[in-house]
Amino acid sequence: MSITQEFELIGMQKASEAVAYTLKEMTKYAQPGMTTKELDNYGARILSDFGANSAPYLTYGFPGWNCISINNEFCHGIPSDKRILKEGDLVNIDVSAELNGFWADNGGSFVLGEDINQHQILVDASKLILKKAIDNIKGGVQISDIGYLIENEAKKRGFKVIKNLGGHGVGRSLHEHPDELLNYKNRFDQRRFKKNSVVAIETFISTTSTYADTLNDGWTMIGNKGGYMAQHEHTIVVTDGKPIILTELNGIWN
Amino acid sequence: MGYGINKQNKSPNHEHQLPANSAAMVFGDYLSCQAEKLLDRNRRSAKAKSPTIRRCV
H or E segment at A247? none
pLDDT greater at residue A194 or residue B4? A194
DSSP string, A97-111: EEETTEEEEEEEEEE
| Distance to chain B for A184, nearest Cα, Å | 13
| Distance to chain B for A121, nearest Cα, Å | 22
Do the Cβ atoms of A94 and A107 come closer than 8 Å? yes
CA distances from A17 to A121, A180, B27 (A): 28, 24, 26
Q: Which residues of A touch B45 (CB under 8 A)?
A: 188
The whole-number pLDDT of residue B3 equals: 83
pLDDT bracket for residue B46 (50, 70, 90): low
* CA angle in degrees (0–180, nearest 5) for A224-B1-B41: 55
- Residue B9 pLDDT > 60: no
**Long-range CB contacts (< 8 A, 24+ apart) of A69-72?**
A69/A94, A69/A220, A69/A221, A70/A36, A71/A228, A72/A222, A72/A223, A72/A226, A72/A227, A72/A228
Which chain B residue lies closest to A106 (C-alpha atoms)? Answer: B1
Do the Cβ atoms of A176 and B23 come closer than 8 Å? yes
Which chain B residue lies closest to A68 (C-alpha atoms)? Answer: B1
Do the Cβ atoms of A234 and A247 come closer than 8 Å? yes
d(CA A142, CA A149): 11
Per-residue pLDDT of chain A (254 residues), as tens digits, is 999 999 999 999 999 999 999 999 999 999 999 999 999 999 999 999 999 999 999 999 999 999 999 999 999 999 999 999 999 999 999 999 999 999 999 999 999 999 999 999 999 999 999 999 999 999 999 999 999 999 999 999 999 999 999 999 999 999 999 999 999 999 999 999 999 999 999 999 999 999 999 999 999 999 999 999 999 999 999 999 999 999 999 999 98
Q: At what angle do helices A6-29 and A36-50 cross, to 10 degrees?
A: 150
Length in residues, chain B = 57
H or E segment at A68? strand A67-70
pLDDT greater at residue A251 or residue B55? A251
- Residue B56 pLDDT > 60: no
Environment class of A209 (CB within 10 Å of its CB; exposed 0-12, middle 13-18, buried 19+) = buried
Q: Determine which of A73, A95, A179 to mutate to test the interface with B (most B C-beta atoms within 10 Å).
A: A179
Chain-chain contact of B34 with A164 (C-beta, under 8 angstroms): yes
Q: Which residues of A touch B27 (CB under 8 A)?
A: 59-62, 218-219
Chain-chain contact of B3 with A165 (C-beta, under 8 angstroms): yes
Reduced to 3 states (helix: H, G, I; strand: E, B; else coil), residue A20 is helix
User: Which residue type, as a one-letter code, is found at position A41?
Assistant: N
The whole-number pLDDT of residue B16 equals: 34
d(CA A169, CA B14): 24
The whole-number pLDDT of residue A9 equals: 97
Chain-chain contact of B4 with A164 (C-beta, under 8 angstroms): yes
Chain-chain contact of B22 with A210 (C-beta, under 8 angstroms): no
Size of interface A-B (CB pairs under 8 A): 105
Reduced to 3 states (helix: H, G, I; strand: E, B; else coil), residue A96 is strand
Look up residue A209 and give its DSSP letter.
-
* CA angle in degrees (0–180, nearest 5) for B45-B50-B53: 65
pLDDT bracket for residue B12 (50, 70, 90): very low
DSSP string, A128-186: HHHHHHHHT--TT-BHHHHHHHHHHHHHHTT-EE-TTEEEEE-SSSSSEEEEEEESS--
Report CA A26 to chain centroid distance, whole Å.
14
Comparing CB atoms, the residue among A76, A107, A186 nearest residue B53 is A186
Q: Which residues of A touch B21 (CB under 8 A)?
A: 58-59, 98, 172-173
The whole-number pLDDT of residue A22 equals: 98
d(CA B17, CA A229): 32
**What value of ipTM does the predicted structure carry?**
0.73
Single out the residue of A155, A220, A217 nearest to residue A183, CA to CA: A155
